[in-house]
Structure 1
Amino acid sequence: MRQRLPSAVYAASSSGGGRHLSALRPIYEELDIKVEWDESTQTITGTKNELLIRMTVNSTEATVNGKAVKISAVPRIMNESTFVPLRFIAESVGGDVTWDEKTNTSISSLIRAIMSF
């Protein structure tokens, strides 16, 4: 029987072009990362302990602990949620994403970590 993924992971969707976008807030909250939204700049900030992640809707530039990072697809708002490439979400918290050529699927160590809660 297939293990049910947490609701945080169900938010994932394909953006086309091989990028998988996922709603940011439920995943960060699942990892106890505080999420703040600045409506005036459309900036999302995630913090936990010494971790500081900042990104802006429609920009491929983000920062992780003050270091500039390129995002493979721009964060975008869909259905009142901000969607961000799953790879960026995983890597911004120290995870990774691998590709399984046999099944044409990607899996993130982040998702594995969420599933183990």
Structure 2
Amino acid sequence: MRAEAGACVRVTVVWSPGPQDVREHTVTLPQGATAAQAVRETGWADAIAALEADPRALSIWGRRVPPDTVLRDDDRVEVTRALRVDPKVARRERFRQQGARAAGLFARRPRR
């Protein structure tokens, strides 16, 4: 299967530099462009630095991919960042602060 001359792919690049801060940018690239090229095309210096620091920081529609993955039309490239807190530790801390009676299933336990 051969690509047409001058064919392009249109992809969306998403990046969240911090909590409650999500950036989204749509780019048009030539056929055969890679995920790393899409991130560079956005011009987001911090996202590019994150990608260079950790090449595993890319995913397409939530599935981790290497930077040299060839893109298809309507792909969603996501630049991920490392977790700052282990989710299990965060849950335990929330549970400890809320107490057993205010959390989850224990809050709705019927009285006998």
Higher CA-based Rg? 2
Greater percentage in strand:
1
The TM-score with structure 1 as length reference comes to 0.29
